[in-house]
Amino acid sequence: MDFRKMTLILVLATLALPCKSPGEVLVPMDLTQTDHLKAYGLAYKVLKSGLSVEWLLNYRGGSFLFEEHEAFVRQARLMGVRYETVGPEKVVSIHALIEEENMEVMLLEKAPRVAVYTPPNTSPWDDAVTLALSYAEIDYETLWDEEVIRGRLLEYDWLHLHHEDFTGQYSKFYNGYQGREWLQEEVARNQEVAGRLGFDKVWKLKHAVASRIADYVRQGGFLFAMCLAAETLDIALAAGNADLVPEQADGDPIAADAQARLDFSKTLAFENFTLELNPLVNSFSDIDGHQVNNPPKRQKLGYFQLFQFSAKYDPVPTLLTQNHTDFIKGFYGQSTSFTRHNLKDAVTVLAFEQGKPWVKYIHGNAGKGAWTFLGGHDPEDPEHRIGDSPTRLELHKNSPGYRLILNNLLFPAAKKKELKT
């Protein structure tokens, strides 16, 4: 090869690499941070470049620390993320403090491959997670029933479920939205996909999808679910081949023995729950403590509190609860909260409402993987309704509720540490 051509190639290759400077970049996540949500996006971009990030659990709200490169500093400025350049002595003092206090260093090594389970059309409701991912500039792909049935889940490290009803009852929208064009389209689309995939009923397809999702977790996947998906996923898993669909929704009456046929050994989080088999009542079971769509039982919103874990002995729940405040205002969803007496023994409660029989935020392991459920629909819109405008996250860039979502997003990037017990 010509010497001048080789020299040019080497110069160009050097220019393509981030320009490293002495020191490191600290992205504080306490009240000094100007945009908490985009800070997660910045950490994701660093990981995507092939470099690692130290997540400093309980240090200044769960700050990020990574090598100083001109490209990342420039990116932080463009994103409006506050950062501090720290030298070697400061880094040593930070690590010394972490070693002595209820703090820990969680090494993030690889940007997770992210999938969002969502129908291919535009629904009349928005999804808090896709809003968060888009605002934070985090890459994700979408998939739905066909991709799940055909085994595509294993291509991803992290899967999000939001509003979907896995019982096949179309979220019981037929009670309040009968005749609406969007609901008719949803029914027709589900029926078409079910038939194309070999299912004679939509509920059978949804139960099969729920089973595939549970298998994905047990094989090592990370699942994050909000709102109705968290509740109905476990209902579908427990129901198996039992028909839960009322005549108004899918042409068959509800199986009279559906409750008796529930198998709680198949579920991820909940057990001993009682189904709501009345098709005219919009709740699905007694899992949801707030019963927002069951007026006689509806509960008022309060503030939920993040549980304080030992960072060194419980690094995973500590990671999932990183925030700049311990108290977060509640928000409704079709499934708003999770009744304590329905939780399996191995479930870890991450956030609760003081003195109430329900919790807001839970986590657990299944096989080689893990799942996290957060009750409610939109952390910055307490009573979000169908047809309401999507939340503008540029107005909520320091949202503690949305931070919980993004904590989960980085969970798969964390290097597993040996437990100290």
User: Tell me, what's the pLDDT at 22?
Assistant: 62
User: Tell me, what's the pLDDT at 9?
Assistant: 43
CB-CB contact of 413 with 112 (8 Å): yes
Mean of pLDDT values over 142-149: 95
The interaxial angle of helices 128-136 and 400-410, nearest 10 deg, is 80
- Confidence grade of residue 388 (pLDDT, cut at 50, 70, 90): confident
CB-CB contact of 223 with 232 (8 Å): no
Burial call 139-173: b when 16+ CB within 10 Å, e when fewer:
ebeebbbebbbeebbeebbbbbbbbbbbbbbbbbb
Q: Which residue has the higher pLDDT, 255 or 213?
A: 213
User: Tell me, what's the pLDDT at 185?
Assistant: 84
- The answer, yes or no, to whether residue 225 has pLDDT greater than 50, is yes
Measured distance CA(264)–CA(287) in Å, rounded: 13
Question: pLDDT tens for residues 151-199?
Answer: 999 999 999 998 789 998 887 866 656 777 767 888 888 899 999 999 9
Measured distance CA(399)–CA(413) in Å, rounded: 22
CB-CB contact of 301 with 382 (8 Å): yes
Measured distance CA(315)–CA(300) in Å, rounded: 33
Mean of pLDDT values over 374-399: 87
User: Tell me, what's the pLDDT at 258?
Assistant: 82
Question: pLDDT tens for residues 323-366?
Answer: 999 999 999 988 999 999 999 999 999 999 999 999 999 999 99
Mean of pLDDT values over 239-256: 67
Q: Which two tokens stand for residue 344?
A: 């399996």
- Confidence grade of residue 395 (pLDDT, cut at 50, 70, 90): very high
pTM of the model: 0.90
Mean of pLDDT values over 279-308: 92
Burial (0-12, 13-18, 19+ Cβ within 10 Å), 180? middle
CB-CB contact of 126 with 100 (8 Å): no
- The answer, yes or no, to whether residue 18 has pLDDT greater than 60, is no
- The answer, yes or no, to whether residue 2 has pLDDT greater than 60, is no
Strands 84-86 and 20-27: antiparallel
CB-CB contact of 360 with 404 (8 Å): no
The per-residue pLDDT of the chain, averaged, comes to 89
Task: List the domains of the chain with CATH numbers.
Answer: 17-108 (3.30.70.790), 114-413 (3.40.50.880)
Percent of the chain clearing pLDDT 90 (strictly above): 72
Measured distance CA(102)–CA(95) in Å, rounded: 12
Nearest partner of 401 among 377, 385, 384, 365, judged by Cα: 377
Mean of pLDDT values over 297-308: 95
- CA distances from residue 132 to 137, 138, 210 in whole angstroms, order as listed: 8, 8, 24
Measured distance CA(59)–CA(364) in Å, rounded: 24
CB-CB contact of 166 with 211 (8 Å): no
User: Tell me, what's the pLDDT at 58?
Assistant: 98
User: Tell me, what's the pLDDT at 45?
Assistant: 97
